[in-house]
Every structure is written in C-alpha cells, then in structure tokens.
Structure 1
Amino acid sequence: MKAAVYRRPGPADEVLEVVKLERPEPGPGEVRVRMVTSGINPTDWKTRAGLTGRMPDGFQVPHHDGAGVVDAVGSGVTGLTAGQRVWLYLAAFGNRYGTAAEYAIVPAARVVPLPGHASDDLGACLGVPALTAAHCLGGDPDAVKGRTVLVAGGAGAVGHYAIELAKHAGARVVATVSSDDKRTLAERAGADLVVRYTDGDVAERIRDFAGPVDRVVEVAFGANLALDMAVLRPGGTIATYAAAGQLSLPVGEFMQANITLAFVLLYGLSAGQLSDAVRWTSAALAAGALSALPVLAYPLDRVAAAQERVAGQPVGKVVLRIAGN
C-alpha cells in the first residue's frame, strides 16, 4: 500500500515521505479500513515535529482521524462488516498505522459507522475535534440541556463542534471569534450570539444577551481567563483543551465562586469517557446536526505541505484525499 511515514521527529519536509508498505493484516480486535480521507489535527504535526515526546516505533503513519470503508476485520470484532463506511479517531495513538495511507489498521473501538448522508469529508473532520468538544461540554447532552455555554474560538474545529453539539442538546450558545469571516462560520454552526473578542465590552454584551454562563469551552485559557470569570455563574465550569505554559490562577476567586476547572486532553480519557463522547457525537451525526468545516484538500503525495498548512492555523480543516492517489 501507499503510505506517508516518518521514522524520526523533525521538520515535515525532512522526515515525511510517501512509500510503499506491505498492506497490514488486522489482528484480534482490529479492523482494516480502506482510507478515503485523512483529517489532520494540530496534535498530528506536533507529534511529528517532536513536541509531544513520542518517538516512532520504527516508522509511523501519521494522523488520527479519517473516513473510509471497512476492508477486513480481525477475530472477535462485532458490529463492523466489510464494505461498511466508517469514521476513525485516535488511529495513530499507540499504533503505527494512522490514516495517512491507503489502508489503516485500527482497534475496533476507534472505528465508528458513518451514516449514508454524511460525507467522507465530514467523517474525517470528526474524531479528535468533535470528541474533545463533547467531553468539554460534559460528555452527555443532559449536561448542557437548557443551559448557556460560551465557546471561545467558535470558528476552530473544536469550537465548531462544541457549538453544534451544544445546540443539538438544547443549550443556548455564545461564541467568541477574532474576525468577521470567523463570525460567519460560528453563526452557520448555530451560535445564538457571536462576539469578536477584539471588540469592547465583550463581557457586558455576553451578560446582557445570555446572563450568567454555565460552562465555558476554552481554547486560550490564560488569555481569556478574565473574560471567563466575568461571565461565569457561581458553580460554573471552565473546560480548557489548549492550555499551555505557566498559568497564574486567582485561586481565591475560584474557591469563592465554586468554579470547576477541567483540563481536557483526549489521550488521557478513560474508555468510558471516550465511549460517552463517541455516543453523543454519533447521535448528533445521525440526526444531521453536525457539519464539516470548510475543507482544504491535499493529495497524499503532498502530506508535508498539508501538515505545514495545519501548523499555520488556517480557517477550515485540512485533509488528505487518499482515494485515487
């Protein structure tokens, strides 16, 4: 099979190459998927660049997310059959065969049926972003039903699905963005109010529209902490999935308001937590409540350029089109 691989961490154009590999066979509990589209997330290029400390086991086919068709199943696999359209998540986590190849071998738990009305692009856009969003929202629709949610970075991949999942669950959603183009994307996702965080009186506008916020899905915890605390109700929750560096917290304010602060990293979730996020995402997908971000497509042979595009933080979702390479 044709596959993108890297054998050591480093710059994309130095370590990524497209090679021919033996098509792997699924072992017990595994599924082989013929890939159609491979979705690329920031965690994919950061791992390849060596920023996460994970080294390849001989070689690594990158990318966690994707969509394709079940090609073969190993012993003990139930509920998945050859020819079935599916979406994948965390394919490359603890596994050398990610989705940037003509075939991927994935544990069956990370392979999810893709409804007939859902495109391959949409399937490849789910995975890490949608499951992160679902967990940040509490892991279950009832956690946000009838409540108010603030989504920071509402035009990003996690923010996009946080808006759509929360709205489908019956929440009122406020989103912050940095530009008018991103405002349009957040509005299309269903946000009830979209505010540019560069404008003045953001906290006042949010409070006037929605009152106190019950939960914040946060992309820039340090930069947005003052705004979050200004609009969050006592007993509310801030779930952040992209915090980095050193943070200084107003511990007294957190304690007085009984604020819950949750740091979310998909790799560290339990099997049960992942199952909850998959269940919620799948139900919303089946109901037609989820949509793809604007897609920026590359062929497999340009995997290095595609990863560099993701590192540049584009508006939209970068994917590899595998079929036809």
Structure 2
Amino acid sequence: MRAIEYSRTGEPDVLTLVDRAVADPGPGEVRVRIHRSGVNPTDWKSRRGSEAGTPVDPAQVPNQDGSGEIDAVGQGVDAGLVGRRVWIWEAAYQRPSGGTAQEYAVVPVRHVVELPDEASYDLGACLGVPFMTAHRCLTVTEDGPDHLGPGKLAGRTVLVAGGAGAVGNAAIQLARWSDATVITTVSSPEKANLAALAGADHVINYKQQDVIEEIREIVPHGVNTIVEVSPAANAAIDAAIIAMHGSVAIYATDGGNTFELPVRPSMVPNARWQFVLLYNAPDSWRPRALGDVEAAVRAGAVRVGPEAGLPLHHYSLEQAAEAHAAVEQSIVGKVLIDVR
C-alpha cells in the first residue's frame, strides 16, 4: 500500500511516499481503509520536532485525524464493524505506524467513531483534533456543563478568539448547537464572513474595533467562556471582559510561548485560566467529548466547507508535503489529503 512516512524531523520535504505492507489488526484493533486524512498544526509540529534532522526510528506515519471504513478487525472486536464508516482520532499518537496518511491504518477500536451515512468523509476527517479541542475548551468553566448539546450553554456567552481557524470554527458550531451566545474576533472582513457563516452571533474585527468596548456593549457582565488561541496578545483583553467565575481555555500559543497574566483582574471574578492539550487530557472527559461530537454529527449540527465558514483544501497523498506546508503557513480553512 502507499504510505507517507518520515524518518527524521524537519521541513515538509522529510515526508516520503513509500510502499508498506498492509498490516493485520491485533487484539482490540481495527484496520481502516482511509479515504481522507486531516492535517492539523499538531501534525507539522510533531514532524518538525524540537531539532531538525533528529532521527525518527521507527519511521512515523503522520496525521492524527482521518475517515474511512473498517475493513478488518482483530481478536475481541465485533466482526459486525467490518464495512462501517468511521472517523478516527489520535491515530498517530504513540503509534509510529498508525497515522492516517496511508491507504490502511491499524488503530485501537476505541479510536474510531461511527460516521453516519449522511455525513461526508470530508467532515469525518475534520472532527478529531479541532472538535475535540473545542469541546474541551467549552466544558472547563466553573459549574460546567460537562456535556454539550441543545440547551447546555443557554444563557451563557462564549468568546472565540480567531473564529476563522479550524478550532475556532468548531468552537462556534458546538457553542451555537448548545445555545450559547457566541462572540468571535477576527483580523479581516473575509475572516469575519467565515465566522458568521459558522454561526457566530457577533463578529469583531480586532484590527478595526476596540474589542473590550464592543464586548462590554454586548454583555456588560462579561463573557463566561473564552476559547483562546493567542494568550500572548489577548491576556489583558481576556482579563478585562471575563465574567464572574468565567474561564479562559488556552489551546495554542500563537504569538509566543509566554505571556503576562493579569493577576488582580483575574482574581476578582475568580476566573480560571485553563490550558488544553488533547493527548493528556483527563480520561473522564474523553468519552463525553466523543459522544457529544458524534451526537452533533448525527443531528446535522456541524458542517464543513465554505458554506460553513471552513473552506476545504484537497491534496493527493503524493502532495503530503505541500499539504503540511499549507497548514504550517496558516492557510485559512481545513487541509485534507485525499487518500482514496
């Protein structure tokens, strides 16, 4: 089968197209015939590593997210799963041969979620990292909720920083599905349009408007939950508009690895600054997130494509390096590799 791998860290050109044997699933595993492989920032960051040229042995197949159909199961797995359409999460984490940038991926059965017939493989490959990250960010606020869904965020206001990004788009869609009032910040009219298509109630262009003033006009008592992509740039704003017992969920470090924490403005409302990394998030949260995202898909509450504020960029498996480069260069939208 065709597969992409890298045996040393570095630029996108370390990604190599190779021929690999098709592996059989072991106990508790399934083999998925991959249709789409989703590319996320976590994928290029893993490929780049901390120092270019570091050997990777065994070679790593990249990409955590994907979609396809189960074509074989291992011992202890229900044979009735064969033929089921699924989406995959964390395929490559601690599994060198598990990434989705290949024609067949073997992963633990717990890492696949059924994809309804009415949901496209494109949507399936967009769900893992962005939607799981968004779910975590939206459920770490004091007094919950633990789950998302209709009514779960009713009466609450969510601010999504960077609403035109993949996680931002997912957060907007999940928050609206849960009946929150959603505010988002963007840097251009084009991104403002994408955020509005995703479902944001209020869109603020932070390059042209005073974010604090605009948000205080919308919600005088502040924002309950902030989904934060750039704490270095936004910490002071977040502290100024956070509501009593609100939370700032930080899932990325755009703009720098350090930031100044406004202590007193955060202490007065008993605010929570919560860092979010999927791979070591609490085990108790993960099943809830998977169940809620699956429910949102079945309800038709989440979408992808330009009409949903998330343009899709398709690349062939042979163009995996170009796909990684596009994400690394912050292309607006979602990058997918068409494996099949």
Deviations 1:13-36 (A, max 9, x none): 1x2111100101111111100000
Q: Which runs of 4+ in 1 moved over 4 A?
A: 52-55
Q: Which residue of 2 aligns with 1:197?
A: 206
Q: TM-score under structure 1 normalisation?
A: 0.95
1:297 maps to 2:318: no
Q: Which residue of 2 aligns with 1:220?
A: 230
Structure 1 residue 157: Cα displacement: 0.5
Structure 1 residue 145: Cα displacement: 3.1
Distance 1:307 1:85 in 2: 25
Structure 1 residue 234: Cα displacement: 1.9
Deviations 1:208-264 (A, max 9, x none): 123321110000012011221221112111001003512221223222220111000
- Picking from 301, 304, 326, the partner of 1:309 is 326
Structure 1 residue 4: Cα displacement: 0.3
- Report the 3-state secondary structure (helix = DSSP H, G, I; strand = E; otherwise coil) of the residue aligned with 1:165: helix
Is contact 1:137-1:144 (8 Å) kept?
no
* Within-5 A mapping of 1:215-254: 215-243=225-253, 244-254=256-266
1:256 maps to 2:256: no
* Aligned-partner residue type, residue 147 of structure 2: D
Q: Which residue of 2 aligns with 1:28?
A: 27
Distance 1:314 1:299 in 2: 17
* Aligned-partner residue type, residue 196 of structure 1: N
Is contact 1:137-1:143 (8 Å) kept?
no
Structure 1 residue 144: Cα displacement: 2.7
Q: Which residue of 1 aligns with 2:93?
A: 93
Deviations 1:240-296 (A, max 9, x none): 100351222122322222011100000111332111111111111110011112110
Q: Which residue of 2 aligns with 1:136?
A: 137
- Report the 3-state secondary structure (helix = DSSP H, G, I; strand = E; otherwise coil) of the residue aligned with 2:90: coil
* Aligned-partner residue type, residue 128 of structure 2: G
Is contact 2:240-2:265 (8 Å) kept?
no
Gap change, CA 1:263 and 1:80, over 3 Å in 2: farther
Deviations 1:150-174 (A, max 9, x none): 0000010000010000110111100
Gap change, CA 1:107 and 1:167, over 3 Å in 2: same
Structure 1 residue 80: Cα displacement: 6.2
- Report the 3-state secondary structure (helix = DSSP H, G, I; strand = E; otherwise coil) of the residue aligned with 1:59: strand
Is contact 2:2-2:20 (8 Å) kept?
yes
Unaligned runs of 5+ in 1: none
Gap change, CA 1:80 and 1:124, over 3 Å in 2: farther
* Aligned-partner residue type, residue 250 of structure 1: P
- Picking from 135, 144, 162, the partner of 1:153 is 162
Task: Give aligned pairs, total.
Answer: 322
Range moving further from structure 2, 135-144 or 30-39: 135-144
Is contact 1:152-1:176 (8 Å) kept?
yes
Is contact 2:248-2:274 (8 Å) kept?
yes
- Percent identity between matched residues is 47
- Report the 3-state secondary structure (helix = DSSP H, G, I; strand = E; otherwise coil) of the residue aligned with 1:58: strand
Range moving further from structure 2, 113-122 or 240-249: 240-249
Distance 1:294 1:80 in 2: 35
Q: How large is the Cα RMSD of the aligned pairs?
A: 1.7
Distance 1:79 1:164 in 2: 34
Unaligned runs of 5+ in 2: 140-145, 305-309
